[in-house]
Chain A
Amino acid sequence: MRGDQANRLNNGGLIDRSAPLNFRFDGKTFSGFRGDTLASALVANGVKLVGRSFKYHRPRGILTAGSEEPNALVELRSGARREANTKATTAELYEGLEAASQNRWPSLNFDVMSVNQLFAPIFVAGFYYKTFMWPAKFWEAIYEPAIRRAAGLGRAAQVPDPDHYEKAWAHCDVVIAGSGPAGLAAALAAGRSGARVILCEEDFVLGGRLLADGGTIDGLPAAEWVARTLAELLAMPDVRIMTRTTLFGVYDGGTYGAIERVNDHLPTPPEHQVRQRLWRIVAKRSIVAAGSIERPIVFAGNDTPGVMMASAMRNYINRYAAVPARRIALFTNNEDGWRTAETAIAAGLQVAAVIDARPDVSPAHRSLASKGGFPVLHGSVAGVDGGKAGVRKISVSLTGGARAEVEADGLAVSGGWNPAVGLTSYHRGRPKWRDDIAAFVPDGAPPGMVAAGAANGAFGLGACLREGFEAGAAAARDAGRSGSTGSMPIADDAAFSLTPLWHVAGKGKAFVDQQHDVTASDVELAQREGFESVEHLKRYTTLGMATDQGKTSNVAGLAIMAAVTGKSIPETGTTIYRPPYVPVAIGAFAGHHRDENFHATRLTPSHHWAAEQGAIFVDTGLWKRAQWYPRAGEKDWLESVTREVKAVRSGVGFCDVSTLGKIDVHGRDAGTFLDRVYINAFSSLAVGKARYGLMLREDGIVYDDGTTSRLAEDHYFLTTTTAKAGLVMQHLEFCRQVLFPELDVQLTSVSDQWAQFSIAGPKTRDLLKEIVDPAEDLSNEGFPFMGAREVKLRGGLKARLFRISFSGEMAFEISVPARYGEAMARNLMIAGKPFGVTPYGTEALGVMRIEKGHVAGPELNGTTTAADLGLGKMMSTKKDFIGRVMAGREALVAPDRQVVVGIKPTDKARRLRSGAHIIPKGETPGPDNDQGYVTSVCFSPVVDQWIGLGLVERGRERIGEIVRAHDPLRGEDYDVELCNSVFYDPDGGRQRG
C-alpha cells in the first residue's frame, strides 16, 4: 500500500493509478487518483472525521457513497468559488482540489460549539418555538443571530460567482434517468428501435450499482458488459449519453429538468465554457431507472464516524480500492447486506462479526462465516463506542436478551433498500407500500413515465435488466419507433429476504436524520405533542428538510412514527415529494440571465450616436434611453436638464422617441376598429391627419394613450406609450381576433422599422427646412398642427412627418427607416447647428410634459378614468368602445374622485417630491384625511421652481387652495398650492404657431 494513501488497496478499483492527484482538506495535503471522489480519497487516506453536525456539533464521518449523503458536506474551493454544503461523496477529485469541513470552530478536532451536546435537552424538536418565545424583539436581535452562528452548515462565498452558467433545450423520444443495469438495458432497447434517446447519469461513469457490486451479464463480467453496451450506444447517432447529469424534476407536458455539471470536476472551467448547464428536456416518454437507496437502521451512536451504509462500503472497496475500516462489523436485516462481508473478505479485510436481525441466515452465508472465522450474532446493535477517531466497540443485544460486544473500527449497516420514488411522485403521486421488500414503490407516475429496475422495487440484477429492456422497448414503440430491439441482456436474480427493522431502542442519541440532527426521541416527542401527521412531523422536527431531502431518513422517521402511533407504515403515509431531486444552484436556473444579460436590452437607432455624445442612459423597461446629455462644467443632472429645456423652449432641440410602440393598422375596417378600441373617433379622421387617442380597459379605467395618424383610407399608424407597447399590441390582437373577428383589419408592429425623433422649439421649422426637400410646404397652412404625411428629404430619402407636440412648443416628429436613424441624428446636428440645436433626453422630455400638464405613466396608473385625467370630454357618446359601459359606473363618475391637478410648493425654494400625500390644512395626516398624492414632479425652468402634477380629490374645483404635502417616508411636511395643471402656455398658441 502507498504510504500517503495508507488505506488504498494495491490492486483493483476503477481509479487511474497513473494519474495521482494532490488535494487539500482542512489545510492538510493528501493525494488520490483520477477516478476518486473527494470522499473515496479521504477514505483512502484514513480520514474518518469530515464534519460537525448541524445542531449538536457531533463529529461525523462519511455515511454513503452517493448523492443521498447527509453528513460528509464540505466547503469546496475557495474565495469567490467557495461552495457550501458540497457532498464529498459526489465531488470528483481534481488536481489542487481544496475542501474544508463545516460547522466547526476553531477546528474540526476541537470544536467549541460541541458544548451544545451538553445542552441537548433544550435542542429537542420544536425548540425554536418553545425556547425563544419572548420578548418578541429579542428574537431578531439576539436569539436568531446566535442560533444561526451555532447551528447551520457551510458558508456561501460572499462575492459574485465568477463562473458562467447556461440553459439549453433537448428533445427526444425517451429520456432515461440512471445508467445502472435497468437504465442501460432501457437505452439499448430504445436505441436499437431507432428512438431518439437521452440517458442521464449523475455519476461520471456509467454502471450504477454494477460499479460496486459487479455480477455476470450475458456471460460477461459486468464491467465488460457495460463497456460493450456503451460502445453500442455510442455508435447510435440519436442516442445521447449525458454523464455528470442529474434528472431532477418532471414538469407538465413531458418536460424534464436536468442539471449537467459540465466542469465541476475541474478547478476552473476552461475559457468560454460554463460550469453548469441546466437542461430542459422534452421527451415523449421517460424511464426512471434511478435505482434505490440503502437505508440505515436507527440505533444509539449510529452517527459515529466509521458507521457506514453496507453498500457504500462496497463502493469504496470495490470501485475505489479504498478501505474504510480494517476490522469490519456488519449489521443487517437482509440478505443483500451480506455482500459487504463477502467484499471485505475478498479484499483481505477482517470481518469482526455479522449482526443479523433475522432469525436465520442462509447456509451459504453460514459457511462463509465459518470459513472467515467470524461469528454471526442474531440480534441488533444497541450502541456504538467511539468518537471523532471512529468506531471502537459495538454492543449487541442478542435475540433472547443477552448482550455481546464486538471490537471493530468500522460498522456496515443495511436496513434494506428504498426505491428512489422521487421522480415518479413529483406530480403529487403517492408511492405504495410493498410488504415483501418493506419499501415504498411507485404507484403510477406522471404521464409518459415508468419506473424500471430497483427504482420500481425490482432488486435482482436479472429483473433490473428485464424491466429496463422492456420499458425501453415499450417507450420506443409508443414514440412510433419500430426497429428491432435485438436480444435482451440476461443475468441471474439473487434472492432478497428481509425482516423489517427500523429502530433499536436504547440509551444515547439515535439519529434518524443525520443532516438535521433529528433523533428517534424527537420523532416520539412530536407524536406526544400531537404532531402525528407526517407533514406535521416533518415541519415540527425538520426531518427530511435538509439539503439531502431525507433520502436516508424519511422512511425510517415515518416507520418510527408508525410504531409509536400503532399504525402501519402505509397508514402513516409519506410527505409530498417535490423537485429538485438534488440541490440545483440558483445560478444554473438563472443561466445566462445575470448582470448585463439579466434581460434582453433594446437599443434605439441613435443609441451609438448618443453614446458618442456622452449621454447618460436610463433603463426604461428593456430600453436604454438617453436621459440627459451632460456638458463639461455642468455640476449635476439638474443643470444639464434645465439647459436642455431652456434650449428647446428658446431655440430647437431633438429627442429620439423611437421607443414608442408603433403599429400599422391596415384593412377596410381599420377606422371602425379604432373607433371601438379608442374612446374617441378615428373613422372620421381625415387622411393626412393625426389625433390623440385614449384607450380604456373594459372596466372603464384608462389603459394607454398616444397619437394615431391616418396615412391612407385603409392604413392608420398608431403609437402607444413606451411602457405598454407590447401589451397594447396583445390587446389589439385580442380585439381583432376574439372580439371583432368580423372586421377586415391587419395589425403589424413597426416599432423597430422606424427611427422617430421629436424636434421641438420655436426654430423647429428653420431646422426642418434644412433637412426636408425645399418642395415640401412646412408652413402653418401647408402643414397645420396635427398634420401627418410622407415627405421627401434632401437627397431623396422618404420620411414621415407628424406635426404633434408633447412639449407645448412648435414641434414635429419625423420618422425614417431605422437604418437611417443614426444618420438622421447626425444630420439634425448638422442642419441645426446655425440654430443652436440641442439634443435632449427623457428628463427634459418629462420636464416639458409636466410644465404642459400632459399625463404620462404616473397618471395613467391603472386607477384613473378619462375624466380624472381631464380628458372626459373625449369620450364619444355616438359609438360603443371598450370600457364605455363600465366607465359610467357610479364610483367612476363620483364627484369626489381624485383628479389631475397642478401642484407647487408655496415656498418657491422647496423641492416637491412625488409620493407626498395631500392633506387639508389643519387636519391630522392619516388615511381619513388623505386626499391624494403627488404623481409627477420636476424643476420647471419656466416657473422657476419645483412643480408637479397630482391626483387630488375634487382637485380641479380647488385651484388656489393651500394644502399640506405630507411625506412621512422622507420626514417632510410643507404647504403646496393646487393650481392649473398646464403651467406653460395654457392657450396652446406656441404649438399651433
Chain B
Amino acid sequence: MRITCPFCGERELGEFTYLGDAKPQRPAADASEEAVYDYVYLRDNIAGVMSEHWYHGGGCRAWLKVTRNTLTHEISAVEPAAGAGAAKVGA
C-alpha cells in the first residue's frame, strides 16, 4: 500500500504507523465518564470507507487523516491533522 503524505508525497506503507478510527473526538475535561468510555473503547468496524489516523513516523512525523476503503484499500483522501503544519494557522 502507498499513502500520499500531503507534505512528502507518495510513500510506501513501511514509513507509516496505523492508529485507528479518526472519528472519535476526545471529550472535554468536564465530560461524563460514559462519554470518555465511548471515546476510549467504542469503535465502528466499518466495511467500506472510513477515516483513519496514520503517523508518518518514518518521514516528516506528521499525523494524517486518511480516508480509506477497508474492503479495497483504496485511499481517496489524505489530509494533515489539525496540528500538523499549525504554524501557518492563527496564533
Contact = CB atoms under 8 A, between A and B. Distances in A.
Asked if chains A and B are in direct contact (CB within 8 A), the reply is yes
Interface stretch (A111-119, A250-258, A859-867): A250-258
A738 B83 contact: yes
Given A253-B2, A738-B83, A744-B91, 8 more contacts: A253-B1, A255-B2, A447-B74, A698-B26, A698-B39, A730-B57, A733-B55, A738-B81
A150 B78 CA distance: 56
A275 B2 CA distance: 28
Given A737-B83, A741-B81, A886 B40 contact: yes
17 contacts: A251-B1, A253-B3, A253-B13, A280-B12, A730-B55, A730-B57, A733-B61, A736-B83, A737-B62, A737-B81, A737-B83, A738-B82, A738-B83, A741-B81, A741-B83, A885-B33, A886-B37
A282 interface: yes
A737 B63 contact: yes
Interface string B50-78: 00010101000111000000000111000
B84 interface: yes
**Among the interface residues B17, B53, B81, which one has the most CB atoms of the partner chain A within 10 A?**
B81
B49 interface: no
A219 interface: no
B84 A737 contact: yes
A907 interface: no
Interface in A737-769: 737-741, 743-744
Contacts of B47: none
A698 B41 CA distance: 10
Interface residues of B, number: 32
Contacts of A733: 55, 61, 63
A345 to B, nearest CB: 53
Nearest to A883: B40
**Among the interface residues A730, A736, A738, which one has the most CB atoms of the partner chain B within 10 A?**
A738
A255 B17 contact: no
Nearest to A741: B83
B15 to A, nearest CB: 12
Contacts of A743: 83
B55 A734 contact: yes
Contacts of B3: 253
B29 interface: yes
Interface string A707-744: 00000000000000000001000100110111111011
Contact of B83 (A254, A255, A740): A740
A271 B18 CA distance: 41
Given A253-B2, A744-B91, A888 B82 contact: no
**Among the interface residues A251, A733, A743, which one has the most CB atoms of the partner chain B within 10 A?**
A733
A880 interface: yes
Nearest to A280: B12
B19 interface: yes
Contacts of A889: 33
A738 B63 contact: yes
A699 interface: yes
Contacts of B17: 730
Contacts of A888: 33
The 6 closest A-B pairs by CB, nearest first: A741-B83, A253-B2, A880-B29, A737-B83, A741-B82, A252-B1
B26 A739 contact: yes
Contacts of B82: 737-738, 741
Given A730-B57, A733-B61, A698 B81 contact: no
A722 to B, nearest CB: 18
Nearest to A749: B61
A740 to B, nearest CB: 7
A644 B66 CA distance: 52
B42 interface: no
B2 A252 contact: yes
A424 to B, nearest CB: 16
Contacts of B13: 253
Contacts of B37: 886
A737 B80 CA distance: 9
Contacts of B29: 880
